[in-house]
Chains A and B, each alone.
Chain A
Amino acid sequence: MHPSIRRRLFLQLSVVAAILSLAFFLVLRSVAERAAEGTQDDILAASATAIADSLRSENAAVTLDLPYSALSMLGTVSEDRVFYRVAVDGRTLTGYNDLPDPPRLGRPGEAAFHTHDYRGEEVRMVAVTRRVGSLNNTAQAVITVAQTRQGLAAISQRITATATAVGTGFFLLATALSLFAAGSALRPIDRLTGAVTRRGPKDLRPVTAKAPTELVPLVDALNSFMARLRASLLRTEDFIAEAAHRVRTPLATVRAQAEVTHRKLNKPEHKQAIREMIRAIDESSRSAGQMLDHAMVTFRTDSLAREDVELRQLVTETCDRLSPTAGLKDIALQRDLPPDDLHMKADKILLQAALLNILDNAIKYSPEDSDITVSLTREDALTLSVADQGRGFADMDLDRLMNRYERGANVHDVVGSGLGLTIAQDVARAHGGTLSIATNDGGSGACVSLILPL
């Protein structure tokens, strides 16, 4: 399985957020530290300059009246220790003798900064050079002021903590936003998936769910695929109908000739052979008819027509249609219909197919000289029942009988394909109802009922 887009999108957005947060953290820390360092440098320079300004030259001797403020201003920043040294021409005038000379000196009047280890601690040093004395008797004074950096380290620590907190917060916020963004970017896909998933297995109508521009080609491709599938199914149905048509005319010829021959033959074994032939023809014709009906039912179930159907008339028409066939076996089709019209919204052709197949089964499996009763009742639901006086379903698994091509165990002597009840059940389901099959009270005869919700 390929990694999910949601996960990938979320991970990518999170990595970007992490990089941005880290960069933000680094920039914030370096700017703040540089600012803090700059402040120390400025104060060191100011302090050194103030000392330099206090240098006096009298009679070729340089004196210094160290201003207190020059050193106290350093204390305003932190509690760090301060060292200084004033050297004139290399001699220490005042201050710490061992404070090292700066590695290089700036031009007179300019401050030169550097960092150095002194007495086991890192110190920031500034050196200011000043010429003192009269015109022909000048000396070079170097004023060095140094300060340890513990205060700066504390500031830097505080800055780092703040930058870390801000960076982490930024990262968490960005991550949450990217989770939301990934979700909302994928929501149209979820919607589309839902629209396709909720469909029935045979629903091939085009998808009409609104899709963002990027998904339009996918939806178009899906719709065109479904249109092709639908066309292909239609072609298959046409093909089945056409094939059945092509086969039926020659079969009719064979059957008619077989009947003529049967009439003319005298030997019982010859007659029996022709009889077998006719049974085989009838079987293939019946199977083809039921398969066609089954395909038709499957196809119509997709786009179920919901027209107004009057059930009493439908039962009457169907019984009239099958009465001559039933009459051949002296079977009477009794009708037990309510006095008033019974209307429902349904697919008339499907209901007809269901009733025809149930009745056809009943006639096939009924003994000569018997009654088949078609009844129509309306209580909580509409029940259309066909009860016969045939062999019933004995002890068979009633659920299995409704499977495709499944026939009862006691019917090997009757022509059939086993699709009749499947067709009736598919029709019942398509209308939100059920097909119930049972053996009549008293154990003789079967009762098949189509139960449809009102």
Chain B
Amino acid sequence: MRFLLIEDNLKLAHAVVERLQLDGHAVDHAETLDAANACLDVADYDLILLDIMLPDGDGRDFLDRQRRAARRTPVIVITARSAVSDRVGLLDLGADDFITKPFDFSELEARCRAVLRRQGGAADNRKTYQGATLDSTAGALLFGGRNIALRNRELRLLEIFFAAPGQVFSKSHLMDRLFSLSDEASENAIEVYVGRLRKRLEGSGARIETVRGLGYRMVAV
């Protein structure tokens, strides 16, 4: 996905950019509303991550102007204000969702996904491998005329494999991607999910292979 991050705190912005890039997303960073408008003039984004307090204005005004100009790019507000009363106004102004600092990146991703699903999806959210298509937005696996609904973690795990077919992923890498860092989980859990995916993929041209001592990879049948 392609993100525009509007955030004036450089350290936070760099960390967020780096973290999103680790998951394979493209991120542009704008420090000010002016810079953000310049970015929006030349590129299309799947999603805008917006901070509220910016040096050249209030993020809420930016949001309001976007909506008045009928620009429908989804906006997720990153707010430092956690009170319920602060949140209500944001949604009324046309934000699609918000997330409170400090945030969990898996939660941010889940929110992005939910927002995109509500919007009808970004263009490049389907990936196909060996005749099997993964529709991230719909959360479904399609092959041979079948449409299999996936649960959240199955979808996220498949996304990792579909992004790089043939590449071996270690158990601990998959753990990191699949479980929130504040949850305790054992590596056995990965085996459970891989087992489920194998069932889902039965009958398609793809399968998940165990690479002894290294991890898992998706290969052609």
Contact = CB atoms under 8 A, between A and B. Distances in A.
Interface stretch (A145-153, A216-224, A245-253): A245-253
Interface string B1-35: 00000000101100110110010000000000000
Interface stretch (B36-44, B66-74, B100-108, B161-169): B100-108
Given A263-B19, A281-B102, A330-B151, 5 more contacts: A256-B15, A260-B15, A292-B83, A296-B84, A329-B180
Contacts of B100: 248, 285, 289
21 contacts: A248-B80, A249-B12, A250-B12, A252-B80, A252-B101, A256-B15, A257-B15, A259-B19, A260-B15, A262-B176, A262-B181, A271-B172, A275-B182, A278-B182, A281-B102, A282-B182, A285-B82, A288-B82, A324-B110, A324-B111, A324-B113
B85 interface: yes
Interface in A329-363: 329-330, 349, 352-353, 356
Nearest to B108: A324
B114 interface: yes
Contacts of A328: 106-107, 110, 152-153, 180
A354 to B, nearest CB: 10
Contacts of B18: 256, 260
Contacts of A249: 9, 12, 80, 101
A248 B110 contact: no
A353 B111 CA distance: 20
A325 interface: yes
A41 to B, nearest CB: 98
Interface of A: 241, 244-246, 248-260, 262-263, 268, 271, 274-275, 278-279, 281-282, 285, 288-289, 292-293, 296, 321, 323-325, 327-330, 349, 352-353, 356, 368-369, 413, 415
B183 interface: yes
B106 A323 contact: no
A319 B78 CA distance: 20
Contacts of A279: 181-182
A288 B100 CA distance: 11
Contact of B15 (A253, A275, A296, A413): A253
B102 A254 contact: yes
B22 A260 contact: yes
Interface size bracket, B side: 35 or more
B107 A324 contact: yes
B81 interface: yes
B83 A263 contact: no
B184 interface: yes
Contacts of B19: 256, 259-260, 263
B88 interface: yes
Interface string B180-202: 11111000010000000000000
Contacts of B80: 244-246, 248-249, 252
Contact of B103 (A252, A268, A368): A252
Interface string B118-147: 000000000000000000000000000000
Contact of A253 (B11, B83, B85, B88): B11
Contacts of B102: 248, 251-256, 281-282, 285
B176 A330 contact: no
B134 to A, nearest CB: 17
A290 to B, nearest CB: 9
A275 B107 contact: no
Contacts of A263: 19, 22, 176
A245 B81 contact: yes
B113 to A, nearest CB: 7
Contacts of B153: 328, 330
A409 B167 CA distance: 45
Nearest to A256: B15
A278 B184 CA distance: 12
